[in-house]
Amino acid sequence: MTTDTGRVRLTPDERRSQLLDLGVRLLATRSIDELSIDLLAEEAGISRGLLYHYFGNKHAFHEAVVRRAADDLIEKTAPPAEGEPLERLLTSMTAYVDYVVANHQGYLSLVRGAAGGNETIRKIYDEAHAALTDRVFREDAQGQIIADTPATRLLVRAWAAMAEEFVLSWAVEPEAMTRDELLAVVTGALPALVELLPEK
């Protein structure tokens, strides 16, 4: 159905989803605190009141945008269904590096927000982090990258934190190494670290 101006009339759910997508795009180059209701209203060409209708308040709006961004990260970094385990890890890490570079300010803001005491953002961050690391242990026709044990779970969490800091730092200082060199280090580090674990 269209209005007299020829624009498509969206359902409330479609309109809210559209506003969240816009919020995620704006978050790519801004911190969470810089993502204001006024900014989104201006970019979307709607009133502040309509945004409050969809999200309630600024905190709920921020949380909804962060959750959408986290879902977007999980989806875009999903490893392919086929291929050798390390090849699939490399593909996933390549998508992760590209995502962090393209959304550096927003991703950095998510990391800092999670570390800064915002419980809701911390929960979203932890859920996204778990989804990314649990992939390493998911078994399919090609097998797992590493065996699922308490020790390897501990190691993978530490590796993921290292990889995150490495990629965030490289995004600021890309002259330190090439993208391919970065990917070789962060991807190769996981199996190398597993080799150091004591055998049981």
Q: Express each pLDDT in 106-130 by its tens digit.
A: 898 888 888 877 788 899 999 999 9
Where are the chain's structural domains?
1-63, 77-196
Contact 70, 120 (CB under 8 A): no
CATH H-level superfamily of 1-63: Homeodomain-like (1.10.10.60)
pLDDT band at 1 (very low <50, low <70, confident <90, very high): very low
Per the structure block, which two tokens stand in for 127?
Answer: 């859920």
Tens of pLDDT, residues 88-102: 899 999 999 999 999
Query: Cα(40)–Cα(35) distance, rounded to whole angstroms?
Result: 7
Percent of the chain with pLDDT over 70: 92
Contact 88, 79 (CB under 8 A): yes
pLDDT band at 5 (very low <50, low <70, confident <90, very high): very low
pLDDT at 145 over 70: no
Contact 129, 96 (CB under 8 A): no
162 Cβ neighbours under 8 A, 6+ residues apart: 186, 189
